[in-house]
Chain A
Amino acid sequence: MKRRDFIKGAAGGLALLTLDSKLVDARMVEALPPDALGILYDSTLCVGCNACMPACKKANSMNPEMTGDQELWDNPQDLSASTLNIIKRFSSGSGEHKDQEEDGYAFIKRQCLHCVDPSCVTACPVSALTKDKDTGIVAYNKDACIGCRYCQVACPYNIPKFEWDDPYPEIVKCELCSHLIAKGDISACCSACPTGASLFGPVTKLRDETRRRLQMEPGKRYKFPVSSIDSGKWHEFEAPEYERHVYGRDELGGTQVMYMSAVPFERFGLPGFPKESFVSMASGIQYAIYKGMVYPLVVLAGLIFMANKHKNSDETEQSASSHDQGEDA
Chain B
Amino acid sequence: MSHEPKALGGRIFTRTFCICMFVVAIAGYFVVKRLVFGIGSVTNLNDGYPWGIWISYDVVVGTAFACGGYVMALMVYIMNRGEYHPLVRPALLASMFGYTLAGVSVFLDIGRYLNVYNLYLPWQMNFHSVMFEVAMCIGTYILVLWLEFTPAFVEKWGLKNFGKKLNKVIFAIIALGVLLPTMHQSSLGTMMLMAGYKLNPLWHTIALPLLFLLTAVFMGFAMVIFEATISSRVYELGDETSILSRIGRIMVYVLGFYLVIRFQNIFMRGLMDEAFSGSFLGNMFLLENLMLIIGLVILAYPNYRNNPRLLFIAATAILIGGSLYRFNTYIIGFDPGTGWKYFPSIGEQMITYGLIAFEIAMYTLFVKIFPVFSVQASTESNN
Contact = CB atoms under 8 A, between A and B. Distances in A.
A and B are partners in one complex rather than unrelated chains = yes
A311 B80 CA distance: 9
B125 A126 contact: yes
A64 B230 CA distance: 57
B350 to A, nearest CB: 18
A124 interface: yes
Contact of B338 (A158, A287, A309, A311): A158
A123 B51 CA distance: 14
Interface stretch (B110-118, B309-317, B370-378): B110-118
A313 B82 CA distance: 10
Contact of B124 (A23, A119, A127, A285): A127
A314 interface: yes
Interface stretch (A90-98, A144-152, A205-213): A144-152
B128 A283 contact: yes
A277 to B, nearest CB: 8
A308 interface: yes
Contacts of B79: 3, 306
Interface string A116-144: 00010011111110000000000000111
Interface size class of B (residues with CB under 8 A): 35 or more
Interface residues on A, range: 35 or more
B38 interface: yes
Contacts of B174: 303, 307, 311
Contact of B194 (A80, A127, A154): A154
A321 B3 contact: yes
B209 A165 contact: no
B128 A122 contact: yes
Interface in B202-223: 206-207, 209-210, 213
B359 interface: no
Given A304-B171, A306-B77, A306-B78, A290 B115 contact: no
B243 interface: no
Contacts of A317: 82
Given A17-B210, A18-B210, A147-B110, A164 B129 contact: no
Contact of A149 (B111, B129, B187, B196): B111
Q: Of residues A79, A285, A318, which shows the largest number of chain B Cβ atoms within 10 Å of its Cβ?
A: A285
Contacts of A278: 193-197
13 contacts: A14-B210, A23-B206, A124-B126, A153-B51, A153-B195, A156-B198, A167-B37, A168-B111, A307-B77, A307-B174, A307-B175, A310-B77, A318-B3
Interface of A: 3, 14, 17-18, 20, 23, 78-81, 119, 122-128, 142-150, 152-154, 156, 158, 161-170, 269, 271, 273, 278-279, 281-283, 285-287, 290, 296, 299-300, 303-304, 306-311, 313-314, 317-318, 321, 325
Give the top 8 A-B pairs by smallest Cβ distance, nearest first: A147-B111, A164-B40, A125-B132, A303-B175, A278-B196, A149-B50, A282-B193, A147-B112
